Amino acid sequence: MRVDRTVPVYPIGVVERLTGLSARKIRYYEAMGLITPSRTPGNQRLYSPADVDRLLEIKRLLAEGLNLQGVRARLHATHGPHPAGGAPPPEHAPPSDVDREYIITQMRAGMKLSSLFPVNNQAALARTVARRSRSPRAPHST
C-alpha cells in the first residue's frame, strides 16, 4: 500500500506539537511563501505530512544560520518550488482512493484524525469513508 504524504490531515495545533514551532511562526512561513497549507471550507489550515517535513527542514536550515531568503533558495535548489507554490491545488477536492487508504491506516494506528475535511471527528470520518467505499465515485475534474 502506498501512503500519499500530500494529504492534508493536521490542523495547526498538531503541527505546532510535531515541529516545535509556534502557530505564529508557521503562519509567518506561509506568508513568506515557504509553505502553503490546504484550507477547509471554514478556512482552517490543514497540513500534510509533507508540509510537516518541510517545516522541520525550514527550522533546521534557520538553526544552521540561513536567513529566510537563504532557506527559500536552498529549498528551491534541493526540492524545487513548494508544490502549492505554482498552481494552487484544487480546493476541497474529495479524498482519492490513496487518501482513503492513508486515512484508514492512520486510524488503525491509533492516530486521532480531527479537523479533516469534510468531517471533523473520527466517528464521522469512519462513516464517510465507509459510505464512499460503498458508492461508485464520480470522476473528479480539475
CB hemisphere CA count around 66 (13 angstroms) = 15
Q: Note the CATH number of domain 10-85.
A: 1.10.1660.10
CA nearest 15: which of 56, 70, 60, 58?
56
Polymer length of the chain: 142
Got the DSSP string for 15-77? HHHHH---HHHHHHHHHTTS---EE-TT--EEE-HHHHHHHHHHHHHHHTT--HHHHHHHHHH
The alpha carbon of 59 is separated from its chain's Cα centroid by a whole number of angstroms, namely: 17
Contacts of 113 (CB under 8 A, 6+ apart): 9, 103, 106, 107, 122, 125
Write out pLDDT tens, residues 48-85.
999 999 999 999 999 999 999 999 999 988 877 655 43
Q: What digits encode the pLDDT tens for the residues 11-41? A: 999 999 999 999 999 999 999 999 999 998 8
Q: Domains of the chain: which residue ranges?
A: 10-85, 97-134
Give the per-residue pLDDT at 17. 93
CA distance 127 to 119: 10
30, three cell numbers = 506561509
Q: Average model confidence (pLDDT) for the chain?
A: 75
Confidence of residue 123 (pLDDT cuts 50, 70, 90): low
pLDDT at 95 over 70: no
Of the pLDDT bands very low, low, confident and very high (cuts 50, 70, 90), residue 94 is: very low
